Structure 1
Amino acid sequence: MTEDQLIKTLALQHVPKIGGTTAKKLIAHCGSAEAVFKEKKSNLLKIDGIGTLTIEGLHDKIHFEEAEKELTFIKANNIKYSYFLGEKYPERLKHCIDGPLILFEAGNINLKNKHIISIVGARKITTRGITFCEKLVEELAPYNPVIVSGFAYGTDITAHKAAIKNNLQTIGCLAHGLNQIYPKVHKKYMADVEKHGGFYTDFWSTDTFDRKNFLKRNRIIAGLSEATIVIESAEKGGSLVTADIANSYNRDVFAVPGRVTDSQSVGCNNLIKANQAHLLSTPLDVPYILGWELEDEVKPAVQKQLFVELEPDEKVVYNFLKDNNKELLDVIALNCNMPTYKLASVLLNMELKGVVRPLPGKLFEIV
């Protein structure tokens, strides 16, 4: 993307009534941000969902003036950026309709061929939550995942620190521009995060700090990842919003259960109860459900037994897979009339018996 193209795109982003989703719609119709500004108003109004109020002030010169100022900031601070149609733009985020038009970056982020998970949760994380989060990252380290979070208090910073401790890449998604940091007390962690990954944001340096920005930021956390893990949450909280967004993107969500009397477990328990999250009781549930495999693992040869005794539930699953070849976990659960949590245990036992094997994308097949 040339500087001129970037200015035009920033200018389009600056128009008050044109959000990321609408901007993408306009660009898809016209071909580029520059073409949007050149298109006749009458033609723009023919686009589905575009009304007079949407494009009001489209040609106001203030948008280009502010875009020029932001470009000056970007160049002066060596800010990296990626366009939603560009090669550098995160692949999973491309599939999110409300993903950022332009994503700003600081650090040394590399998402190529990586497992990416988001870890979110309560800002007032308990000692139990900290212990589980640290254990989770440590046990997932052999799979070399990228750990994404929001760089906020509690669960977020615990996840980032655990990733750094285990020499994993970590990404902090910010609710403000790259000219500031919140909370200020976390400034001491910035260098380590940038060394082991970096920061993403779609906010400008001129955007005022607003708590509503956190909710907008959460879509990036959910969109970057193949799965979102909620460590702890009260009955209401930002991490539940992130989980809801992840579900809307058809991504996996995991929640750590807790006692019904624990206030910081209510949100997680409700997610599990509403079948909106996998129950996460042990860190290795994550690679099992997601179908991860260790890159350099030398797996022992498993000789398939000629006569394997199967439990009644295992026979049901075996017969279904025999007739349908490989199939998704949720599809197996539906057709075998079995809850997902129970099916996961059944499949694990069958895998240990050498009868089935997991495939990437939560698929399973008979060996």
Structure 2
Amino acid sequence: MNQQLLYHIALTAIPNIGNITAKKLIAFCGGAEAVFEEKKSALEKIPGIGAVNASRIIDHKAEALTLASQELIFIEKNNIKALCFNDGLFPKRLSHCEDGPIVLFSKGDFDYNTKKVISIVGTRKATDYGKDFCAQLLVDLKPHNPLIVSGLAFGVDVCAHKEALNNNLATIGVTAHGLDRLYPSQHKPVANQMLNNGGLVSEFLSGTKPERENFPKRNRIVSGLADAIIVIESSKKGGSLITAELGNSYNRDVFALPGRVTDSQSEGCNALIKQNKAHLLQSFKDIEYIMGWEAQSPKNNKQAQLFIELTQEEQLLFDLLKEQDKTNIDDLALKAKFPMSKTASLLLEMEFNNLIKSLPGKMYKVV
């Protein structure tokens, strides 16, 4: 039995202990197992925990451990993978999100940490305009081989999954329930295809139903897994706007497809663009340009070529990092004169290539 996983799952089963609090407990106690071994008096002294949360842990730990043991049996029986947030294989992009899950479950065959990841979201009442744009976008993005993330909902979500499969692009659906069921059930055929080139992802334990409050939680994972979030059609109060807002809070690039001012399913996208919360998206070239995915000219830096080719922008950041032992991302963006979102994207790329390492407090250092 994987003891570390057992105690991480058990911690998620303690009522009203969210992911931020759980990570704080693990950090102060030295591990998830240590949290359950601590006395109530010691737990109370941890900043931000207090008597109420300490009591919840003590009162519910036996029940939580039993539930976690049952969950381990379930995931083993159903060939489900589970990663703790401090596991080396955990999605690196999501690990940078303060409120990211402490355990993530998945089925299928894909790599969270592939070089390019795009989340595509939108209205459940997609028009032909939105569907056609989505289909063409994925045809055009195929040379970049991005991992496509969405939520398997009606409308834009399932369109994105289907078009990804049509173009032989890996695609994952983030669910708002446990992996013992599928909602909506009508999308089971698509979900089954995704298991062969992509898969399903959830932070919820088996038995969890697709309750209303789970969908905003699901949306933060859709945002956190990606480099960029693309909104293709949304009403004025669409759930996709939550995903876009989360993307902005995580320093992700957000793109929105504009529409006619008279179209109700474009009101949300037009508002995002108007409020400077999203880049106006007319074609895949906008994504290539903003994300720096355009073809790069040959590098002259022989030292960089010895281990990996760096773009001019990456080389600039790398040189700035070498000047000090460690540097804050804000200082790097200021010195390089890059937008924060672009700086974060470039740093993540270099981290994937094991050139730099991220540290607490948004600090980075050369490996």
1:26, distance to aligned residue in structure 2 (A): 0.2
Partner in structure 2 of residue 141 of structure 1: 142
Q: Is the 8 A contact 1:148 1:173 kept in 2?
A: yes
Q: Is the 8 A contact 2:183 2:210 kept in 1?
A: no
SS in 2 for 1:55: helix
1:241, distance to aligned residue in structure 2 (A): 0.2
Aligned equivalents of 1:360 and 1:46: distance in 2? Answer: 40
Aligned equivalents of 1:239 and 1:52: distance in 2? Answer: 37
Query: 1:298 and 1:49, CA in 2 relative to 1: closer, same or farther beyond 3 A?
Result: closer
Partner in structure 1 of residue 38 of structure 2: 39
1:43, distance to aligned residue in structure 2 (A): 2.2
Partner in structure 1 of residue 189 of structure 2: 188
Aligned equivalents of 2:114 and 2:341: distance in 1? Answer: 27
Q: Is the 8 A contact 1:17 1:55 kept in 2?
A: no
Partner in structure 2 of residue 130 of structure 1: 131
Q: Is the 8 A contact 1:290 1:361 kept in 2?
A: no
- Pair 1:225 & 2:226 matched: yes
SS in 2 for 1:54: helix
Aligned equivalents of 2:15 and 2:135: distance in 1? Answer: 42
1:52, distance to aligned residue in structure 2 (A): 1.5
Partner in structure 1 of residue 89 of structure 2: 88
- Pair 1:7 & 2:17 matched: no
Cα offsets for 1:274-325 (capped at 9, x unmatched) = 110001111210011000145xx898xxxxxxxxxxxxxxxxxxxxxxxx99
Aligned equivalents of 2:182 and 2:129: distance in 1? Answer: 28
Partner in structure 1 of residue 261 of structure 2: 260
Partner in structure 2 of residue 151 of structure 1: 152
Aligned equivalents of 1:33 and 1:361: distance in 2? Answer: 30
Query: 1:111 and 1:10, CA in 2 relative to 1: closer, same or farther beyond 3 A?
Result: closer
Q: Is the 8 A contact 1:255 1:269 kept in 2?
A: yes
SS in 1 for 2:6: helix
Q: Is the 8 A contact 2:90 2:112 kept in 1?
A: no
Aligned equivalents of 1:325 and 1:5: distance in 2? Answer: 41
Q: Is the 8 A contact 1:175 1:203 kept in 2?
A: yes
Aligned equivalents of 2:67 and 2:195: distance in 1? Answer: 28
Moved more, 244-253 or 34-43: 34-43
SS in 2 for 1:292: coil
Aligned equivalents of 2:341 and 2:138: distance in 1? Answer: 29
Q: Aligned letter for 1:128?
A: Y
Q: Aligned letter for 1:18?
A: I
Q: Aligned letter for 1:117?
A: I
Aligned equivalents of 1:38 and 1:26: distance in 2? Answer: 12
Q: Is the 8 A contact 1:17 1:53 kept in 2?
A: no
SS in 2 for 1:151: coil
Partner in structure 1 of residue 51 of structure 2: 52
Partner in structure 2 of residue 103 of structure 1: 104
Query: 1:5 and 1:331, CA in 2 relative to 1: closer, same or farther beyond 3 A?
Result: closer
State which structure, 1 or 2, has the greater radius of gyration over its C-alpha atoms.
1
1:241-280 pair list within 5 angstroms: 241-280=242-281
Query: 1:104 and 1:126, CA in 2 relative to 1: closer, same or farther beyond 3 A?
Result: same
Query: 1:161 and 1:293, CA in 2 relative to 1: closer, same or farther beyond 3 A?
Result: same
SS in 2 for 1:195: coil
1:111, distance to aligned residue in structure 2 (A): 3.1
Q: Aligned letter for 2:126?
A: I
1:44, distance to aligned residue in structure 2 (A): 1.7
Aligned equivalents of 2:155 and 2:277: distance in 1? Answer: 23
CA RMSD of aligned residues (A): 2.2
Cα offsets for 1:77-96 (capped at 9, x unmatched) = 11101110001100000000
Partner in structure 1 of residue 118 of structure 2: 117
Partner in structure 2 of residue 30 of structure 1: 29
Aligned equivalents of 1:74 and 1:361: distance in 2? Answer: 34
SS in 2 for 1:179: coil
Unaligned runs of 5+ in 2: 299-333, 349-367
Query: 1:269 and 1:37, CA in 2 relative to 1: closer, same or farther beyond 3 A?
Result: same
Cα offsets for 1:325-364 (capped at 9, x unmatched) = 95315799xxxxxxxxxxxxxxxxxxxxxxxxxx9579xx
Cα offsets for 1:27-48 (capped at 9, x unmatched) = 0111111111112222222222
1:181, distance to aligned residue in structure 2 (A): 0.4
1:212, distance to aligned residue in structure 2 (A): 1.6
SS in 2 for 1:67: helix
1:4, distance to aligned residue in structure 2 (A): 2.0
Aligned equivalents of 1:34 and 1:360: distance in 2? Answer: 36
Q: Structure 1 length as normaliser, TM-score?
A: 0.80
Moved more, 54-63 or 199-208: 54-63
Partner in structure 1 of residue 338 of structure 2: 328
Aligned equivalents of 2:209 and 2:290: distance in 1? Answer: 40
Q: Aligned letter for 1:76?
A: K
Aligned equivalents of 2:166 and 2:150: distance in 1? Answer: 15
Query: 1:50 and 1:329, CA in 2 relative to 1: closer, same or farther beyond 3 A?
Result: closer
Aligned equivalents of 1:147 and 1:68: distance in 2? Answer: 32
Query: 1:196 and 1:143, CA in 2 relative to 1: closer, same or farther beyond 3 A?
Result: same
SS in 2 for 1:218: helix
Query: 1:66 and 1:326, CA in 2 relative to 1: closer, same or farther beyond 3 A?
Result: closer
Q: Is the 8 A contact 2:40 2:55 kept in 1?
A: no
Aligned equivalents of 2:346 and 2:73: distance in 1? Answer: 44
Q: Is the 8 A contact 1:149 1:171 kept in 2?
A: yes
Aligned equivalents of 1:84 and 1:287: distance in 2? Answer: 30
Aligned equivalents of 1:253 and 1:136: distance in 2? Answer: 15
Q: Aligned letter for 2:337?
A: E
Aligned equivalents of 1:79 and 1:331: distance in 2? Answer: 33
Q: Aligned letter for 1:22?
A: T
Q: Is the 8 A contact 1:18 1:55 kept in 2?
A: no
Aligned equivalents of 1:184 and 1:13: distance in 2? Answer: 26
Counting aligned pairs with the same residue, the percent is 50
Q: Structure 2 length as normaliser, TM-score?
A: 0.80
